[in-house]
């Protein structure tokens, strides 16, 4: 790890711990104060896997020093950070939901309708075209694969700085998403329309049914223990599905032969979000804006943090910023 890119990425790798530890602290404080608890086995195994990957990455870096293989360090280390982040933000979204602020479904629905994008005719159109409903259902679950794929691909293609910026942007986007969701809670379009999930039989409404079940259980106090692998995506506004799609596209766009494919698949995932995820269109727009802002913030903060002390030059004019752009 003797080249400039690797050293820069290693510094940024450590910077990425700040949002992760911040969210972890909020989870540790929030669980007892809300009366929620974590099912220990699944959670313990997940955290143990993350710690093991991080231990290998750090151990290899410490033992080998400048001769450490950056592909191994950054792929395993970042995957460990991703797993740990997911283990934190899932339960943390439930802690945020436990605040029981008034549901904003009718307000979000009103915004969609004011934009001329009523969710009911959109869902009806998809329901009337079963092939489209199936395609969108498959696209919606694509959020999971790049979480581990991005670190592997970017590490193997030696885009170490871009990988760490992706991790930082994702952490920032998750932190903001959960914060906003606490004060703008919502269940989903079918709830606002007062329609049962079975109203559109060709649409896979399992995601909506899960978030409806868990949000109502949180609000009436019947949900106490959080099972990590059974948690639903209970955040509506802003949509992290939309945000993650933008983050994935940005991260992998420079990879020749892959960037275009990833962009097409993630655009399809964004299209699936209002229907399969029962998200409002304004949720999707906010998620896209949040991802763009998070990418900018990650690049700006990192460039500023690496600029010489006393320098008043904007981040875009520094050598570090050029390195960030190229990677």
Q: What is the pLDDT of residues 89-145, one digit of tens each?
A: 999 999 999 999 999 999 999 999 999 999 999 999 999 999 999 999 999 999 999
State residue 317's pLDDT score: 35
Reported pTM: 0.91
- Cβ atoms of residues 223 and 197 within 8 Å: no
| SS3 of the chain | CCCHHHHHHHHHHHHCHHHHHHHHHHHHHHHHHHCCEECHHHHHHHHHHHHHHHHHHHHHHHHHHHHCCHHHHHHHHHHHHHHHHHHHHHHHHHHHHCCCCCCCHHHHHHHHHHCCCCHHHHHHHHHCCHHHHHHHHHHHHHHCHHHHHHHHHHHHCCCHHHHHHHHHHHHHHHHHHHHHHHHCCCCCHHHHCCCCHHHCCCCCCHHHHHHHHHHHHHHHCCCCEECHHHCCCCCCCCCHHHHHHHHHHHHHCCCCCCHHHHHHHHHHHHHHHHHHCCCCHHHHHHHHHHHHHHHHHHHHHHHHHHCCCCCCCCHHHCHHHHHHHHC
Packed helices 4-15 and 319-326: angle between N→C axes, nearest 10 degrees: 90
Mind listing the pLDDT tens digit for each residue in 29-74? 999 999 999 999 999 999 999 999 999 999 999 999 888 999 999 9
Q: What phi and psi, each to the nearest 5 degrees, are found at residue 118?
A: -65, 125
* Averaged pLDDT for residues 182-202: 93
Q: Give the integer Cα–Cα distance in Å for 251 and 248.
A: 5
Domain that holds residue 321: 4-326
- pLDDT of residue 293 exceeding 70, the answer is yes
Nearest to 19 by CA among 140, 214, 175, 246: 175
The 10 Å CB-count burial string (b at 16+, else e) for 174-209 is: bbbbbebbbebbbbbbbbbbebebeebeebbbebbb
Count CB atoms within 10 A of the CB of residue 29. 11
What is the tally of structural domains in the chain?
A: 1
| Calpha distance 92→23 (Å, rounded) | 8
CB-based contact 229:131 (threshold 8 Å)? no
Cα–Cα distance for residue pair 273/137, rounded to 1 Å: 9
Give the residue, 91 or 3, on which the prediction is more confident: 91
Confidence of residue 301 (pLDDT cuts 50, 70, 90): confident
């Amino acid at each position: 790890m003797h080249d400039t890119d690797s050293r820069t990425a290693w510094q940024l790798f450590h910077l990425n711990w700040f949002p992760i530890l911040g969210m972890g602290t909020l989870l540790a404080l929030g669980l007892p104060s809300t009366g929620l608890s974590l099912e220990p086995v699944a959670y313990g195994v997940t955290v143990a896997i993350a710690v093991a990957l991080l231990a290998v990455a750090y151990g290899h870096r410490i033992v080998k020093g400048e001769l450490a293989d950056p592909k191994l360090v950054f792929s395993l280390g970042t995957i460990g950070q991703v797993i740990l982040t997911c283990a934190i933000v899932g339960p943390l979204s439930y802690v945020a939901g436990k605040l029981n602020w008034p549901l904003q479904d009718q307000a979000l629905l009103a915004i969609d309708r004011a934009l001329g994008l009523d969710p009911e005719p959109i869902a009806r159109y998809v329901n009337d075209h079963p092939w489209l409903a199936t395609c969108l259902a498959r696209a919606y679950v694509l959020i999971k694969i790049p979480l581990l794929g991005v670190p592997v691909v970017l590490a193997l293609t030696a885009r170490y700085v871009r990988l760490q910026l992706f991790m930082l942007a994702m952490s920032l986007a998750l932190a903001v998403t959960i914060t906003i969701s606490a004060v703008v809670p919502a269940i989903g379009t079918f709830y606002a329309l007062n329609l049962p999930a079975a109203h559109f039989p060709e649409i896979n409404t399992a995601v909506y049914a899960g978030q409806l079940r868990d949000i109502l259980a949180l609000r009436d106090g019947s949900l106490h223990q959080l099972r990590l692998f059974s948690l639903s995506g209970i955040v509506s506004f802003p949509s992290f599905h939309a945000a993650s799609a933008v983050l994935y596209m940005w991260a992998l766009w420079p990879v020749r032969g892959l960037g275009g494919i990833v962009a097409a698949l993630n655009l399809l995932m964004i299209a699936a979000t209002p229907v399969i995820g029962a998200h409002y269109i304004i949720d999707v727009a906010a998620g896209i804006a949040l991802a763009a802002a998070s990418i900018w913030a990650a690049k700006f903060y990192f460039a500023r943090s690496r600029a010489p002390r006393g320098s008043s030059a904007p981040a875009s004019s520094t050598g570090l910023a050029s390195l960030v752009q190229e990677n």
